[in-house]
Amino acid sequence: MAEKSTARSALTVMICTLASRILGFVRIAVISALFGAGGIADVINLTFSIPNNLRKLSAEGALSSAFIPVLSKSIVRNPVDKSEPVMIVRNLLSFQFVLLLPFCILCIIFAKPLIGLVLADFTEQWQIDLSVRLFRWFINYLLFISISAVIMGALNSSNHFLIPAVTPILFSVSVIGSIIFLHKQLGVFSMALGVLGGGAAQIIFQIPKFKKYGFDFRPNFSFRNKKFRKIIKQWLPVLATSSILTITQTIAFRFASGLSEGSTSALTNAIVYWQFPYGIFSASISTVLFPKMSRQIGIGDHDGLKDTIQYGIRYLAALLIPSAIFLSIFGREMISLTIQRGMFTAENTNMTAGVLTAYSLGLLSTGAYNFLQRYFYSDGNYRIPFTITGIVALVDIIFSLWLKDTRLGVSGLALANTIAFTLGLIILLFLINRRLGGIDVRKIMLTFCKIGLSMLPLILFLLILKHFTGSWWMDGSSLRNLLILAGGFIGSVILILSMYKITRIEMLQDILSRKR
């Protein structure tokens, strides 16, 4: 019953995330069509990546990993009296204002030296000047998304996932609408307006459900609350862990800006396509299972915890392995159809596809690594994720320095990332298996064997389709190409579901079962 409930909750988040990711493709298609794939587009993508990466350190990333376990345990231990959970959320919201409002003001004041450091490899002064002006708008998004993330965490900890899953859709709609209708009047700053409008919409949309669960926005600056102090104590090591990955990604963009023109946009666009299955599947499963693991630890359900971990790994494998295969084989065609128009050429498509393939090889490794980190956070252990993440970052940088100067170019940066996270996953699996006295490896291996068998018809189908349809991707967007890609995708889904039903993949049965 618990696994079926988990599967359905994850499916709810996946469906909403699917809509968000599709709009994400529309967003990058609009940006690419109106601003190209190099020059101005490089400035937009690199500048927005700064607050977008910093949000991983605020409530949506590091702080969520620290406060969701505490909040979930507080709710499960006090199902009737909500005073403690409400106080925790008030403290967190107040903390966001105290911390981020001065930070954003300082970033606006010192935007020029900050951007000069990040864009040091850009040779054109106009690019740096434009980035400074954009950054002064984009950085305010950090405050909006951090407040929204506290609300999301409160709802997820209360076992409600629908409204938080819908909110990212509003962001993409705001950005797309702003660019389409205002780009002639505001140019690139139409995106800045859309970003801020989308950030505000995410907060407003969640307020009714947030209040329904008994939470409110009354400020509370009494930071002596023991639970809040515990969260901050746990946040600092998670912040350090997230900072390592943020710095590593910033270094990757720095490396990309020093390569051939369009490399930064190729890296940015490839990440968006890679995040399509990652966000739908990996992030959704982690969103649902993270509070669950925290509750199981809170009530001492050791056996249930082991079942949750092995189930999560198997669930991720069933979804991410076929995703990686499709992206690797048909990624170029998908990129061409969605964004190859206007100033985005076939050459840009080819470069982005190479990066996407290298990232796809590590799709399962990165997803499982992110999920297993949540186990340690649920258990209050922050030292191990910090140490292993440091190793991952070091390996990533070492391989990036080597591979970027080979014929791989910007694709080498993605391959370095894949190698690093695969190594990190292996280490985490070893440590978790030892800490828990052994997880059910037999179930995991059986699922992997079933998935491997199920992938053979998929690979054969995609290769045959690719062979008989030829190099249609070079023509970019057209109705014919859309039908080919849609046929490939629908055929792949039918094959995967059919093979999963034949091989009795448990996750599919849990989703389709009507039993409660």
pLDDT digits (tens, 9 = 90+) for 467-499: 887 776 677 667 777 888 888 889 888 998 889
Place of tokens 């999560």: 312
Q: Is 457 or 256 the better-scoring residue by pLDDT?
A: 457
pLDDT value of residue 311 = 87
Q: What is d(CA 318, CA 462) in angstroms, rounded to the nearest whole number?
A: 18
pLDDT digits (tens, 9 = 90+) for 30-40: 877 777 655 67
pLDDT value of residue 5 = 59
What residue type is 50 in one-letter code?
A: I
Q: Which residues contact 458 (CB under 8 A, 6 or more apart)?
A: 322, 325, 326, 492, 495, 496, 499
pLDDT value of residue 364 = 92
**CA dist list (Å): 334 to 98, 172, 291, 328, 486:** 44, 20, 35, 10, 10
pLDDT digits (tens, 9 = 90+) for 370-421: 899 888 888 878 888 888 988 998 998 899 889 888 888 888 888 998 999 9
Place of tokens 């000069």: 116
Question: Looking at the predicted structure, is the pLDDT value of residue 127 above 80?
Answer: no
Q: What is d(CA 289, CA 151) in angstroms, rounded to the nearest whole number?
A: 18
What's the average model confidence in pLDDT over 330-342? 78
List the one residue out of 295, 244, 285 whose CA is nearest residue 420: 244
Question: Looking at the predicted structure, is the pLDDT value of residue 422 above 90?
Answer: yes
Q: What is d(CA 149, CA 167) in angstroms, rounded to the nearest whole number?
A: 10
Torsion over CA: 254, 255, 259, 262 (sign): negative
User: Considering the chain, what is the average pLDDT of its residues?
Assistant: 82
